Structures are given as structure tokens and as C-alpha cells.
A and B are shown apart, each in its own frame.
Chain A
Amino acid sequence: MLNTAEILSQIAARPKNFSLSHDLYCDPGVYQTDLEEIWYKEWIFAIPTCDIPKTGNHATLQVGDYPIVIVRGGDGVIRAFHNVCRHRGQRLCPKQNGSSPKLVCPYHQWTYDLDGKLLFARDMGADFDPSKFSLKPVHVRTNGGLVYICLADNPPEFDRFGGFLDDYVSVSDVTNSKVAFSSTIIEQGNWKLVIENNRECYHCGGSHPSLCRSYSDNPLMTVMEGPNAASPEILEHWARCDAAGIPSRFVNQDDMQWRFARVPLLNNAESFTMSTKSAVNKLMGRMPWKDAGSLMLYHFPSSWNHFLPDHAIVFRLLPISPTQTEVTSKWLVHKDAVEGTDYDLQKLTEVWINTNDEDRRVVEENQKGILSPAYEPGPYSPHQEEGVIHFVDWYCRKIQDRLAPRPAMAAE
């Protein structure tokens, strides 16, 4: 198990634009460091707000060792808490999704209000002061209909990203959508391999026959330089979106932790369907055309997303062990769209159910190979895998900054 110094030295020894070492993908010490320095400190995508539309609805997730519950209060506000009873520590809400007027511990029925206050604990004696045993809150931000949480005491800055969520994602009016389908799969691979796989389409031609009907694997479709530099198709698409008042141009965080851009699908495809036509009759939000392409948003370390005119898919990954990752996908449609009338669930979901499974297999084989003592890091394609380089660079810099903070420069 690697210690801090060993982790830092492996990162420092990494050849530029090469994949990471065996240990950085497989070692339990690295995994623990990833949890502590990345997953417990960064903002993490949790759920879309429409996952808990009504008072008392709640959703749970497990971030490393932390069980979390997110709940909508009587005032409509979404709050997050450590999903741990203040009595003897029982996990409070055991299910992925639930609904109840109060949060009640299944062990001894300590009863908390939806805002986390302990309302009632039986037979605790006259000296017991319930106000000292509220649920512990977790930081929450909701922008553009997406809920992000952060476990750090002092979370990193969020406002810039949040502002773009409001601008870009609100076009799809995710707040007024509903979850049409949700799937959770476990991939037998390190979380970084799951993201790396997602950040390139070098593998798409070989692995994703159904996705490639609508999605271009041309690397120029996803690697963009800035709001005014991209492939001609994209520039044309942006001009059309600009005219319609749909924010679309490339924006990113300086260190590439996140990025927004709306790109066209292949040959005016409308949606990620086998027919390449829309899967849902009712378009989301204020989307004017069926072929508005996909708003692609990723945010390290936990999420990538596609917002199409007729539906959206939000993806969340959470690490489970050094070589296991949970991937949850939710298909969102307009809240008034009726299954069977406005959309066919199978047509809506088949392409990404296939694609997720294809990616799972790729990642698992990738992990198996990296587990071999014979594995050694290899070079990323500069044309095809720039997105992977962005991620790996971001990851290494974060770990370095957090484990060995660079001395502050004196202001001059």
C-alpha cells in the first residue's frame, strides 16, 4: 500500500501524456488518497432535482465511507445530510429513493424533521436536549436543476460553474422534467479508468455500434479550443444556437475540471436512438429544434451528461473500491411526457443501455490488463485522447497540490 511520498513520487515520475502507473490505478493506498483528497473535497454531482420532486422525497448515495441523504423539505428546499442517526449511528435511510413526512431511524425511531432537526427521541430522560442532535448537514448547491454536494468543511468555489449550469442547462428546464428511467451498474474498474474511457471516442468505432449511428467519433467534435475556434460544423451550429438564444459555446474551467459545449449530432440526427429520430414527442424546456444536438457537460470527478432536445441523460460515478466503480444513469424527459404515448421506454433507453454495457466491458478488460505485472504506461494519442490527458493532468495536479501544497508565492 503506497504512502503519501510514494504516491507523489509515482506522479512525479509519470512521463508526460502517458497513462498512469499500475499502482495509481490499483493500489489501496492510492484509492484511500483519492477518496480523501478528491472525493471528500470536490463538488460531486448527486441527483437531478426532479429525482425528489415532492416534500419528503429523498435520495441516498454513498461517497466513499460517507452515506448521504438528500431530501426535499416542506419549504421546497433541497438539503443534504450525513445519513447517520445521531443516536447510535444507524444508517437512517436505507433505500436509494424513498418518501416520508419525517426521517425516522429504523432502529429506535428517533425522528428528524426534513430540515434535519431531531423532533423526538423516546425515553431519553428530562435532561436530554434534542437540539444538540440534529442531523449533520452536507453542503448542497442546486443550479440548472442539478444537485451537487460537497463533503468538505470549506468547499471549493462553485459559483462560476453554477452560473454556467444556470445558463446552459436551464434551456432544458430540468427542474420540470421527470426521471423516466434509472440504471445503476457496477464496473469492475478503477474510477479513473471509467472517466478516461468516457473522455475519448478513440474506442467508439470499435465498441459502440448503436451510439455511432448518431454520435460522431471525430475527435474534432469534442476537442474545442474556445468559443471561436472549433470545427466548421460546430461553429455553424453555435451560430445557429446563438441566433436562437441558446447558450452553446465552449466554456471550461482553466484546469479543465469541467466543460460545457453544445455540439451537433451526426447527419442532423435528433437523438441517441437507433433510428436517430427523437425518442420523445414533447421536447424539453425551450428547445426550438429537434436537431439541436447535445449539450455535453462533464465535471470531474463524478459526472458527464448529455442534454438533448427530447431528453437528457445524467451520469454519476462513485468509487466503491480500488477496482470497482458504480455508474448511475438517469434518463430525464419533460414532466408531462407520458410513457407509451409520448415515448417508448425501450426506444428511449436502448442506445445508452448498450453503450454503458459496452463501456463497462472495455473498462473491465482495461483493469484486468493493468492488474498484470507486465503492464506499463503507454502514450495517449495526441489527436484522439486529449480529453484523457486533460483528466489525468487534472487528477495528478490535484493530488500533488493537496498532498504537497506548493509554497505560496509572495505577491509582487
Chain B
Amino acid sequence: MASPAKAFGEAPWKDSELLECAMVVPETTDTATFTFRAPSGAWFDYKPGQFITLDLPVPGGNVQRTYTISSSPSRPLSISVTIKAQPGSTGGRWMLDHLKPGMQIKAYGPSGIFHNQCQTGKKYLFISAGSGITPVMSMTTWAWDSGEMPDIVFVHAARTPSDLIFRQRLEGMADRVPGLQLHFTVEQQDPFQSWHGYRGRLNQIMLGIMASDYLEREVYCCGPEPFMQAVRDMLVALGYDMENYHQESFGAPVRTEAEAPVLDDVVPDESVSAEIVFAASGITAKCNETDTVLAVARANGLNIPSGCTFGLCGTCKIKKNSGEVHMVHNGGISDEDIEDGYILACCSHPMGAISVEV
């Protein structure tokens, strides 16, 4: 028997040592996983969910780019990042086009506060979009490798089924343990391929079906900011305790607690008073931000036709004349209608004084 090709050292890798690209594996169109090793044989010590900064020699001068690590520290012999070339990207594009096995690059880290060594007995809800899947993939692999698979509901949103990164790897794990439940939603189908998962933007109803016990789960969310914003709005509207919510933007990973962006989401507050003018009926009603327009209308003897009462069916669509509402809908209204000033009364909260055409 030949001896192992390489002996691994005692000490963990330090970022004073260059990383050597060992392997490039295509994942989906325009997405690939780059695996690095330390030439000295050092191993990698980090927390699942953390990121690493790569110094990339793009033409015109080096750029530093941070990428969340898609491998897991439970497999410490190498470290991987999975890159999707976002439109207009320079770093990602350069890696996909030029970074080949054998090349060495400078790297810093790993660091970051978005990490989780999933504990058995606890329940998690991972929500990601696009290449935001990488840190939760790392956490999931860690959980799998620990041998005590905790309870994870894994929700991932992609553009089409063929854009689902790590689909096979995740399915391979989920096929073998009950603790990992996968739920994918796509915006569009691939031609000539049937699709049995969810379709459309992630919404509260999907979330409820995917993980009916979401209120009890610790949420880890990663994706572009508008996606995470929509997830936060949904959770807030559903009464989720945001103390248990963690997020990472794949555009701007966070190094320290101090760097973490302050999330100033609109959260209707019961103690803040608001006012709704029902213009056509000549009624002005005082209420709180936490009341829905529909509830206030009813309480004042006005009837706005409604069906689902949670922003899906669109029956309660009305025109807003002035003021701001906070609306978390579930697809019952089109972006065009919102632009034209329409709201769904059942899931709109008045922020201050508003006037509607009822």
C-alpha cells in the first residue's frame, strides 16, 4: 500500500501561508466550487458559516473579496468556497475564468459571526437564496458529520431548478436522515423538465407548509438583502421572536458584532396610534399600527370584501389615497398594482395617518 500522498501537520492553517487551489468543480451554470489546501499540510480551523477573504490578482490590480466557506470544518483537510458569478462581478468572474489547480493565492481569515455548530436537540430553520446557500451548507455538513443530525428544515430559493446549488449533495444527506427536510422553491421551471417543488417567491404560506413549527426554530438566513428583508417581514408578521433570527448577506459578510447592520425593519407597534380616513364613507377612525385596515373598517361598520385574510387571494384590494402602510402580502397583489397605490386591506397596517378610497 502506498502511503498517503501528503502528511498533514499538527498546526492549523494561518493566513500568513498562501493557499493552493487544489480542485475546481462546476456546480451549476456559472457556479463552481474552488477547493484550497495549505502547501505546508496545515489543516483548517473555523466555524461553519464563517467566511474567508481572498486576494485576487485581477487585471488592473488585486481585489479583496469575501466568500462564505461552503466546506465544513469537520473535514479540515481543505477549505472550499462556492462562487456564482453575479452580473458585473470582477472577482467571481476572474475565479471562474482563471483560477486553476496549482495556483496559489493570498487569503485572510477565516472570520465572521454568522456561524452555528448545530446542537442536537435544537431545531433549526435555514433559509437561503442563490449562493446564500454556502454557509448553511457548511452548517448542514457539520451537523451531518457530527453523527447526531439535529432537526433542520432547509429552505432554499433559486431561479430555476438547474440553479439549485448542492441539490444532489443535500438530497443524498436528506435521503438518509429524518432530521434534514429540504424544501426548494423556484421562480421558473426548466424547459422539458418537470418540477415538483414549490414555485414562486417564498411567502408566509409556503413557510407554514415547509415548517409548521417555525416559531420554535432558530432561523439562519442568507441571501441578497431584499430577500432577507422579505424573510424578516414575513417572520415579524407571523409573530416570530426575532431574538432567534440570524442573518448573513452574501454580498457583505459581517466580521464582528459591531459591524453587524442594525436591522431597522418596520415593526408595527401596538402602542403607536394611527388613523385611517375612509374617504368615500366620510369616516375617520383612530387605531393602532398593529391593526389591519380591514379590521378597522369592520370595526367601524364598513365592509371591504375579503376572502383569505392573509394577502393571498386579492379580494380585499383597495386604493390608498395617502399615507404609508406596512404590507406583508402573499402574492395576492401585483407589483404594478402596488405601484399604482393599491393595497390589500387584510395585511396592511397603517403607519401613522392614511386615507383609503372606501
- Chain B nearest CB from A118 CB (Å) reads 11
Contact B189 A122 (CB under 8 A): no
CB-based nearest A residue for B335 = A101
In the assembly, what is the distance between CA of A48 and CA of B353, in Å?
Answer: 46
Contact B200 A120 (CB under 8 A): no
Contact B314 A104 (CB under 8 A): yes
Given contacts A109-B313, A111-B312, A120-B312, contact A102 B331 (CB under 8 A): yes
Contact B308 A120 (CB under 8 A): yes
Contact A75 B189 (CB under 8 A): yes
Contact A113 B314 (CB under 8 A): no
- Chain B nearest CB from A111 CB (Å) reads 4
On chain A, the number of residues with a Cβ less than 8 Å from chain B's Cβ atoms is 19
Given contacts A101-B314, A102-B331, contact A122 B308 (CB under 8 A): yes
In the assembly, what is the distance between CA of A219 and CA of B47, in Å?
Answer: 83
Q: Does B99 contact A (CB under 8 A)?
A: no
Q: What chain B residues lie within 8 Å of A77 (beta carbons)?
A: 189
**Chain B contacts with A in 143-202, Cβ cutoff 8 A:** 187-189, 199-200
- Chain B nearest CB from A32 CB (Å) reads 37
Q: What chain B residues lie within 8 Å of A111 (beta carbons)?
A: 307-308, 312-314, 332
CB-based nearest A residue for B206 = A119
Among B187, B188, B199, B312, which residue has its beta carbon within 8 angstroms of that of A102? Answer: B312
**Chain B contacts with A in 13-50, Cβ cutoff 8 A:** none
Given contacts A102-B313, A120-B312, contact A74 B199 (CB under 8 A): yes
Q: Does A115 contact B (CB under 8 A)?
A: yes
Q: What chain B residues lie within 8 Å of A120 (beta carbons)?
A: 205, 308, 312-313
Contact B312 A119 (CB under 8 A): yes
Q: What chain B residues lie within 8 Å of A56 (beta carbons)?
A: 334
Q: What chain A residues lie within 8 Å of B53 (beta carbons)?
A: none
Contact A104 B315 (CB under 8 A): yes
Q: What chain A residues lie within 8 Å of B332 (beta carbons)?
A: 101-102, 111
Contact A102 B200 (CB under 8 A): no
**Chain A contacts with B in 90-124, Cβ cutoff 8 A:** 99-102, 104, 108-109, 111, 113, 115, 119-120, 122
Contact A74 B200 (CB under 8 A): yes
Q: What chain A residues lie within 8 Å of B295 (beta carbons)?
A: none
CB-based nearest B residue for A104 = B313
In the assembly, what is the distance between CA of A101 and CA of B336, in Å?
Answer: 10
> Top 8 nearest A-B pairs by Cβ distance?
A109-B307, A111-B313, A75-B188, A104-B313, A101-B334, A109-B313, A120-B312, A120-B308
Q: Which residues of B contact A (CB under 8 A)?
A: 187-189, 199-200, 205, 306-308, 312-315, 331-334
Q: Which residues of A contact B (CB under 8 A)?
A: 55-56, 74-77, 99-102, 104, 108-109, 111, 113, 115, 119-120, 122
Known: A99-B334, A102-B313. 18 other contacts (CB 8 A): A55-B334, A56-B334, A74-B187, A74-B188, A75-B189, A76-B188, A77-B189, A100-B314, A101-B334, A102-B312, A102-B331, A109-B306, A109-B313, A111-B312, A119-B205, A119-B312, A120-B313, A122-B307
